[in-house]
Structure 1
Amino acid sequence: MRVLLSTYGTRGDVEPLVALAVRLRARGAQVRMCAPPDEEFAERLAGIDVRMVPVGPPVRELMRGAALPSPADLDRYRTDLVGAQFDTLPAAAEGCDVVVAAGLAQVAARSVAQDAGVRYVYVSYAAVHLPSPYHAPPPRPGWPEPEAAGNRTLWELDAGHVNAQFGEVLNSHRAALGLPPVDNVRDHVFTGQPWLAADPVLGPWRRTPGLDVVQTGAWTLADERELPADLAAFLDAGAPPVYVGFGSMRPSPDIGRLAVEAIRAQGHRVLVSRGWADLDVADGADDCFAIGEANHQRLFGRVAAVVHHGGAGTTLTAARAGTPQVVIPLQLSDNPYWAGRVADLELGAALDGPSATAETLGVALKTALAPGTRARAGELGSRLRTDGAEVAAGALAGALR
């Protein structure tokens, strides 16, 4: 079995495919992956002996500014990325039996698979990305915010935005390959049977007519790395701290400072993850410690709560650890969705958006740090699955047989 995995995005987009790649290789499959050319992704794939095929510009450069690029710049960025995919994916897919694509940015992948005559599988990491009358489309940066009421209408408008962005460039490349045009780019990318790599307890799919979703469970790997010695020493030196981190995202400049102040006001120590934003709010006091890369699976079981942006990976890792959460969702992608899931399951608290005050953070932290919240988080954590990547690898192998 020869498999091409393809995605474009931050670490949260790449890591699930890393987990799938490891499970596929354990079954004897040959795996290669198309991913952004950021150095950390190249090192990650080299560490599992998977060939990386770089596509597009580095993602970290896109996230470097204090704000996202303008809508016009994002429009050019997305269009150029489709061209880069058509330039790169055909050679990467040569000799493969299946192409697995993750994320709406994978506009070219299905056409490349069709041209090569191989199987194509689309995967989403959150139910909110798939059309359903039970939820609205996620916010897409650079596109107008729809004002219509009703989820069905919102999804129709979303399809129109996707067509406006990608329809012309996709169909011009399809014509060059001798493939017929598509009139609904989003549904063409998704297919009628997309896979959902999300835990069925934490992020379930509600059955929707016309879409046969295969929910495999989240794709993750066990992380056995020890914590850095200085971090372990800080944890051992007092009561469990509250973790603050925003991963690959860049929050507003004052969020980190407000979070530290609100946590201290609750009488807790603070652990700050610098992340891609290089969050630097540690002031040298003994109760506040800043860290870089660390094993969240091992760390989150030792903190009192996790304050984060609502990324799928962070939400899942904290939930599996049975640790309460406070979500400050950036208005991007699935962040608001995971914030809503944390609130609905009473695993902590979620703010309405990326803006926060000392008061709103204080209220959220009181909810998260209450004994009942920890009890609920612990009970739910015991019910979350860890076999999603293995389930998906088995399904791929079975389908190809």
Structure 2
Amino acid sequence: MRVLLSTYGSRGDVEPLVALAVRLRERGAQVRMCVPPDEEFAARIADIGIRPVPVGPSVRSLTRGTAPPSAADLSRTRDALVEAQFEQFPAAVEGCDVLVAAGLAQIAARSVAEAAGVRYVYASYAAVHLPSPHHAPPPRPGWPEPETDDNRARWERDAHHVNTQFAEALNRHRASLGLPPVDNVRDHVLTDRPWLAADPALGAWPRTPGLDVVQTGTWSLPDERPLPADLMAFLTAGPPPVYVGFGSANAPQDLARSTIEALRAQGRRALVSRGWADLGLIDDRDDCFALGEVNHQRLFRQVAAVVHHGGAGTTATAARAGVPQVVVPAPVSDNPYWAGRVADLGIGTALDGPIPDTETLTAAFRTALAPDTRTRAESLGAGIRTDGAAVAADLLLGTARGDAVAG
């Protein structure tokens, strides 16, 4: 079996496909991967013995600068990505049996698979990206939020925005491939039987007519890497610290400062992860430690709480570790959704606004660090599955045999 895996986004989009690739290869499948051209993704995929196919503009370059990209810049980037996909995907999918497109912005994948006679599977990392009256669509950068609280109306508006951005380009390329036009780009990409690579205990799919969702569980791999010696020395030098990290989010330095000050007010130590925003310490006191890329699975089991931006991967890793969370969500994609799930499950707190003040953070830490929050977090963590990537790999192998698994 030969599989093409494709995604576009930050590390949180790439890592789940890495996990799926490893499980597929363990079962004898041949795997290719289309990912953004950023060096760190190429290196990560090379680590598992796969040569990446770079597609689209650099993701990290989109996060640079003190201000987010303008709506016009985002529109041009999306257009360029679609053109790059139609240019690169046909060669990448040649000889494959299945194309798995994961995450957002996979506009060309289904059409290329259709033209090549290859089965197509779409996978989402969060239920909120799939249309349902039970939740509103996530905010999409550069597109206005609809002025209504009705979820069905908001999903209709979301489909309109996707069509406005992509319909002309998609149908132009489909015509060149001898394919008929589509009138709803978003639902065409998602299919009527998408997969959901999220844990049911953390983010279950609410049953919705018209979508036969296959929930596999989170796609992840066990990480056995040891923690650096200097980090271990800090961990053992005092009580468990609070981890503060915002991944690929463009977090302001003021957020790290406010968080450290709020923790110090409660006598807590802090670990500050630099991330893509290159956050750092605010002074040279010995109650804080700055770190780079480390094993979160191992680290989170040794901290008092995890402060983060609401990424699917960080939320799932912290939940699996049974550690309370404080989520300061970036106002895009599924980050507000995961913040809401943490709050609803009682395993932490969720804050509004990009830079909460010290007083707000102090109150959030009181809740997150309370013993009953830790008890709920530990109870939930014990029930989170770790076999999602294996489940998905087995489903894909069934697909190759002709089983009715994916839409």
* Percent of residue pairs bearing the same amino acid type: 73
Counterpart code for 1:254: D
How do residues 227-246 of structure 1 correspond to structure 2 at under 5 angstroms?
Answer: 227-246=227-246
Residue aligning to 2:58: 58
Q: RMSD across aligned C-alpha pairs, in angstroms?
A: 0.7
Note if contact 1:282-1:290 (Cα within 8 Å) is conserved in structure 2: no
Question: CA-to-partner distance for each residue in 1:121-163, whole Å, 9 max, x for gaps?
Answer: 0000000000000000000000011112210000000000000
Secondary structure, aligned partner of 1:201: helix
1:8 aligns with 2:1: no
SS of alignment partner, residue 254 of structure 1? helix
Equivalents in 2 of 1:66, 1:119: separation in Å?
A: 42
- Give the Å deviation of 1:33: 0.2
1:67 matched to which residue of 2? 67
Q: Distance in 2 between matches of 1:172 and 1:264?
A: 58
Show structure 2 runs of 5+ residues with no match: 402-407
* Alignment pair present for 1:128 and 2:157: no
Name the counterpart of 1:113: 113
The amino acid of 1:37's aligned partner reads: P
Distance 1:284 1:368 in 2: 26
After the TM superposition, which residues 369-384 of structure 1 pair with which residues of structure 2 at under 5 Å, given as runs? 369-384=369-384
Mapped partners of 1:43, 1:76: distance in 2: 27
Q: CA deviation at 1:282?
A: 4.2
Contact map agreement 2:57 2:77 (CA 8 A) in 1:
no
Alignment deviations for residues 322-355 of structure 1 (CA, whole Å, 9 cap, x no partner):
1000000110100000000000000011102323
Stretches of structure 1 that go unaligned for 5 or more consecutive residues are none
8 A contact 1:282–1:289 mirrored in 2: no
Question: CA shift at 1:226, angstroms?
Answer: 0.3
What amino acid is aligned across from residue 99 of structure 2 in structure 1? Answer: V
Amino acid at match of 1:256: A
Q: Within 2, Cα distance between the matches of 1:109 and 1:75?
A: 19
* Aligned equivalents of 1:10, 1:357: Cα separation in 2: 27
Structure 2 residue aligned with 1:320: 320
SS of match in other structure, 2:33: strand
What aligned pairs does 1:193-232 form with structure 2 within 5 A after superposition?
Answer: 193-232=193-232
Q: How does 1:1-400 map to 2 (within 5 A)?
A: 1-400=1-400
Task: Name the SS for the 2:146 alignment partner.
Answer: coil
TM-score, normalization: structure 2? 0.98
The one-letter code sitting in structure 1 at the alignment partner of 2:277 is A
CA distance in 2, matches of 1:186, 1:65: 30
Shift of 1:67: 2.4
Counterpart residue type for residue 92 of structure 1 = A
CA contact (8 A) 1:99 1:119 kept: yes
Tell me the distance in 2 between the aligned counterparts of 1:303 and 1:141: 33
Residue range with higher mean Cα deviation, 139-148 or 352-361 = 352-361
In the alignment, is the contact (CA less than 8 A) between 1:348 and 1:373 conserved in 2? yes
Q: What is the SS of the residue equivalent to 2:201?
A: coil
Shift of 1:240: 0.4
Residue type at the aligned position of 1:392: A
Number of paired residues? 401
Is the contact made by 1:336 and 1:353 (CA closer than 8 Å) also made in structure 2?
no
